[in-house]
A and B are shown apart, each in its own frame.
Chain A
């Protein structure tokens, strides 16, 4: 490394965040519950972001948290939660030779990584973070100059690719409507035009002595309401009688006369 010395603060940040990131990566592989895996990978991402910030790349660090931790992992969690609260992955291998293929790919990837990083450390001479950042007057300005300068085409093509993918997902999940969606106004007009009872039915009459749905409600004139009893109970004629005295009392309270007309039970 041709850069400056590593300060004490930076060393502490590296060892703490680095350790946590590795723990997160291991935990993600080891844990059995999918949600725990997602949480561990979120931990890794946040710690990587801290390392980016410590390495004078604050923009990358923040975007890493907003995009990966905040949006991508959140969508993962969302899907996991929709799929099932308690579903843990089955450990049966569905693809033949999965382990061997995984091992080979892993080794290949590590060789690629080591070669790439080694090449970067050996061949390329670094100018140091401060010089790189202050070339354009700041970290964000430097990134902007690169992104909207030499790498503009690559940037735009990537954006077009992402938008195409999003459009594809939308088209694949789109369902054609048979007929225009009925508005709330139309629904409510239909409900009233049908002539059926538009609102909720009267609840059963629950008294201190009969705490059950088979007790009919009393209307203000003292008669019992058939609608307050669930239909199956009515069909079986399994309806509790209401004490005549109760009916009389309600009628008295509501100021009606003490005649027995209108009583149906």
Chain B
């Protein structure tokens, strides 16, 4: 790119670029295999079981063997599937999962065979947006899988994942804004460097919490795994997938987990920078050590994912959407406004102590007024509810007479609807008497 600060990127020899790409690919596949095993072991531990412990030391090779088994299984493609889309959906999912990792920084500039290079495949001024963009392409995989399977449960799973990811992406994007404001950049390497004295997780705690919540929603993991809720939708969007295509969805899910964890590390936990007691040591932030700190932080997030899965039950769908739209997004918006105002005061406005106190007083008055308004609203709601219940109780034995107002109106809650006996349609005398009997009987059972 044109900017000087990105000069260290794009200057690598071709073999180094290739090497980094292959290394990231290998790391992601290894992390997936490890995470599946780790998840099964940790969840087992939480549920007083043992978990896989047969293949390899401590069962470490279990997921590798499962992968082989999956690849050699028979592939079943439903007759009603739209073949082209059905085929490309898992490819989109897996590809998007892999390429999002291109902008994640693993470490500072190191020397590889005499070439000074940053431990990051590439970076550009908007690389955090790049991760968001790739994530939104990855959703196509799920949606198309749901649609192309030609079956009901996958379709429902696909619909759910669309709604879910669109909703949670908004909260996620809003949680980035505060980080961008503080770091003064949208490039991952710059954001990491901007956290040199103190991590953004500390000074931007609300953003961090919003991001952590929405990243679970974004990756379709428990307790937000509604697109594949097995109690309701069998397997969700991947119900009709088998063999290698299913394996690709599986792989994508775990890589996405690693990706959002790595992004959380980059944006909020100081990326590859050493945590506090270690950062006292001079050499902690140079050479290859930072890769270790980075890996530990990412593993912490992955453990959090597993912990959540082992602890929380799945949310009901409407509650989940309500949480996203009515809690996460408003809170994120208010927080962004607060951060912007604070930043503005720090950058451009010089205030004396009295003025600062005055501003504080105004803020407190506004907050108090707001809570007073909320209380009034709540009281009014209570009143309305009581009134409605009273009305309903009054109406319990009232009979609705459609002609009373001259219009055929539906009954109010509590009112009884009087069925008028239907006149028999006369076609021939014999049938007429028959159907009259029938309708009379029907009225009897209805009343």
Contact = CB atoms under 8 A, between A and B. Distances in A.
B368 interface: no
Contact of A62 (B129, B155, B162): B129
Nearest to A75: B166
27 contacts: A33-B82, A35-B82, A35-B147, A42-B140, A46-B137, A56-B1, A58-B124, A59-B129, A62-B126, A62-B130, A66-B133, A69-B137, A70-B136, A74-B162, A74-B165, A77-B147, A78-B159, A78-B162, A81-B146, A85-B147, A134-B2, A138-B2, A139-B1, A139-B126, A179-B388, A180-B381, A180-B388
A62 B388 contact: no
B136 A74 contact: yes
A39 B144 CA distance: 9
A258 to B, nearest CB: 41
B132 interface: yes
Interface string A30-41: 000101100100
Range of interface residues on chain B? 35 or more
Nearest to A65: B133
B253 to A, nearest CB: 19
A16 interface: no
Interface string A74-101: 1101100110010000000000000000
Classify the secondary structure of B's interface with A. helix
Contacts of A137: 3
B291 to A, nearest CB: 27
B104 to A, nearest CB: 16
Contact of B385 (A46, A58, A78, A180): A180
A254 interface: no
Interface string B381-403: 10011001100100000000000
B124 to A, nearest CB: 5
Contacts of A71: 136, 166, 169
B275 interface: no
A59 B125 contact: yes
A63 interface: yes
Interface of A: 33, 35-36, 39, 42, 46, 49, 56, 58-59, 62-63, 65-66, 69-71, 74-75, 77-78, 81-82, 85, 129-130, 133-134, 137-140, 178-180
A69 B179 CA distance: 25
A49 B136 CA distance: 14
Chain A contact residues, majority secondary structure: helix
Interface of B: 1-3, 82, 85, 124-126, 129-130, 132-133, 135-137, 139-140, 143-144, 146-147, 150, 155, 158-159, 162-163, 165-166, 169, 173, 186, 381, 384-385, 388-389, 392, 412-413
Given A63-B129, A179-B389, 19 more contacts: A35-B85, A35-B147, A46-B137, A58-B1, A62-B129, A66-B133, A70-B133, A70-B135, A70-B136, A70-B137, A70-B139, A74-B140, A74-B162, A77-B143, A81-B146, A82-B159, A137-B3, A179-B388, A180-B388
Contacts of A74: 136, 139-140, 143, 162, 165-166
A130 B150 CA distance: 50
Contacts of A59: 125-126, 129
Nearest to A134: B2
A227 B26 CA distance: 59
Contacts of B173: 66
B384 A180 contact: yes
Given A65-B133, A71-B136, A138 B3 contact: yes
A179 B413 contact: yes
A36 to B, nearest CB: 8
Contacts of B166: 70-71, 74-75
B143 A65 contact: no
A85 B150 contact: yes
